A and B are shown apart, each in its own frame.
Chain A
Amino acid sequence: MSTPVPAGAERRVAAVVAAVVRQALADAGATVVHVQAPDTPAGALLLDWLVGAGLDAVPAGPEAAAGGSVLDAHPADKTWLLLAGAPPTAALLPLGDLWGSRVAALASGWQAPPAVAALVERCGGVDALDGALMAWIDGRAGADDALHGLPAGAASALREAFEEGRLHRRRAGLVPKLGGRTVGIDLFD
């Protein structure tokens, strides 16, 4: 079962993401966004949002135009940032406060680093994994309560991955705040 998308959610999230990216460009004196991983579902979604908002966003790559000053953006999502260890090297992580299951619902597909993909499989899917993480992180339930519904062994593996990301979460790129607790903005630890 996939995550239901509330009416208007994509419009709202895209508007906030675009507003933050626009201000980041202004603050940095930059004019162009290079979107990394543009061929992934999330990368294509991000590119679509930014271009749709009138921003000069292009796929990153050797052929990307070098004119103007550039900020790199990577479409890593919140599930990725919380569990994958080191975040992608990019000034902007515009989808970084959007859960992987929600990206999957909006982009009709989802990709994660191998370590996160393995965790997803152990948890029985990204919806189950994110449901537990949402209760723990956003809902501030205790970890034991939030993760108790996961398959045996999955909860401890998830906690281990989360703990290993503690240092990295302090060094992530700029994440537009969408929800209650945002990587790089709110205290997690």
Chain B
Amino acid sequence: MPERALRLAVLQTDARPRDVTGNLDRLAAMATATGAELTLTPELSVTGYGVSDDAATLAVPLRTGAGAPPSGAAASAAPGTLVLGAIERGVDGLPYNVAAALADGAVGAVQRKIYLPTYGTFDEGRFFARGRTVTPWTLTGGWRAGVLVCEDLWHPGLAYALAAQDIHLLLVLSAAPGRGAWEGSAAGGLFASAEPWEHLARAAAHAYGVYVALANRCGVEGGVTFAGGSLVVAPDGALLARAPELEQAALEVELDPAALRAARRPWSHFRDDDPALVRRALEALP
């Protein structure tokens, strides 16, 4: 268990495609204004979402423990740990859609997006290579976080794999387009598509007794309106904070180890979970 509380900020930002300097300056200013120890930003918050073939030229090396790339100088000046949505150039030379933690001017950790949506509106498989593993990050104060990028939250096996590695917090970076404006959401929001995101976040929190923070971007690229509505969910599944739609915002929440303990006392599901059984079942698949 973490030994102390953690001040988290979730930034809901717009991102201008390819304007790395402008986007980073804005992210750093917002992060500095919150003064949080851990700041989460949306998917591809550094580069913008629809960068297509430019993914290759916008990609930068992001080696854990190495210094932040020169373009990240402004972000490095922000306090605490800043989790950015960026494009990594892997040692294989390929571009990866990643979450990268910057702290004290260095790259603390990188999580690559695994499931690249390539259907309907999405073309990610044409421009990015896919990640292959999920690995928890160790943060300040004894907190352990799992990190998923957008579509990866829709593959519950990944959240399970992280929860089985004893995380306290699930961080999700997304750039989810709003859909279903005619129908709206049950909570009165602009988009019906916001509902499953909230269901998935709350289900993961409830099932695993972890905080879930989701930073979804806002703004418009072409005809696509990104939905915003970022949120933070408590380990008992309760909604702690929700950002408005269509505009930039910052959510600030103090994460409390006592809430983790309280949520896990009455709900022993995950205590009793048996990853070895799951492994055997998976291995038995034809």
Chain B residue at minimum C-beta to C-beta distance from A102: B182
Say yes or no: is A30 at the interface (Cβ < 8 Å to chain B): no
Say yes or no: is A16 at the interface (Cβ < 8 Å to chain B): yes
Say yes or no: is A62 at the interface (Cβ < 8 Å to chain B): no
Say yes or no: is A154 at the interface (Cβ < 8 Å to chain B): no
Interface string of B88-130 (1 = CB under 8 A from A): 0000000000000000000000000000000011000000000
Chain B residues closer than 8 Å to A32, beta-carbon distance:
none
The answer on a CB contact under 8 Å between A186 and B246 is no
Say yes or no: is B54 at the interface (Cβ < 8 Å to chain A): no
A interface: dominant SS:
loop
Chain A residues closer than 8 Å to B224, beta-carbon distance:
177, 185
Say yes or no: is A12 at the interface (Cβ < 8 Å to chain B): yes
Say yes or no: is B180 at the interface (Cβ < 8 Å to chain A): yes
The answer on a CB contact under 8 Å between A16 and B178 is yes
The answer on a CB contact under 8 Å between A15 and B246 is yes
Q: How far is the CB of A92 from chain B (nearest CB, A)?
A: 9
The answer on a CB contact under 8 Å between A98 and B182 is yes
Say yes or no: is A20 at the interface (Cβ < 8 Å to chain B): yes
The answer on a CB contact under 8 Å between A20 and B179 is no
Say yes or no: is B181 at the interface (Cβ < 8 Å to chain A): yes
The answer on a CB contact under 8 Å between A6 and B179 is no
Q: How far is the CB of B19 from chain A (nearest CB, A)?
A: 12
Known: A6-B184, A102-B182, A177-B225. A19 touches B220 (CB 8 A): yes
Q: How far is the CB of A185 from chain B (nearest CB, A)?
A: 5
- Residues facing A in B186-243 (CB within 8 A) are 188, 190-191, 219-225
Interface centre among B188, B220, B223, B246 (most CB of A within 10 A): B223
Chain A residues closer than 8 Å to B190, beta-carbon distance:
12, 15-16
The answer on a CB contact under 8 Å between B181 and A16 is yes
Q: In whole angstroms, how far apart are the Cα atoms of A83 and B178 in the complex?
A: 25
Known: A16-B225, A185-B222. A180 touches B179 (CB 8 A): yes
State how many residues of chain A have any CB contact under 8 Å with chain B: 28
Q: In whole angstroms, how far apart are the Cα atoms of A174 and B246 in the complex?
A: 19
Known: A16-B225, A185-B223, A186-B120. A6 touches B183 (CB 8 A): yes
Chain B residue at minimum C-beta to C-beta distance from A13: B181
Q: How far is the CB of A106 from chain B (nearest CB, A)?
A: 10
Q: How far is the CB of A16 from chain B (nearest CB, A)?
A: 5
Give which listed residue, A7, A20, A97, A175, contacts B220 with CB less than 8 A.
A20
Interface string of A148-189 (1 = CB under 8 A from B): 000000000000000000000000001111111110111100
14 A-B interface contacts by CB (under 8 A): A12-B182, A12-B191, A13-B182, A16-B190, A20-B223, A23-B219, A175-B223, A178-B179, A179-B180, A179-B181, A182-B223, A185-B223, A185-B224, A186-B121
* 5 further interface pairs, Cβ-Cβ under 8 Å (given A8-B184, A179-B180, A180-B180): A6-B182, A12-B181, A15-B181, A16-B178, A174-B222
Interface residues of A (CB under 8 A from B): 6-9, 12-13, 15-16, 19-20, 22-23, 97-98, 102, 174-182, 184-187
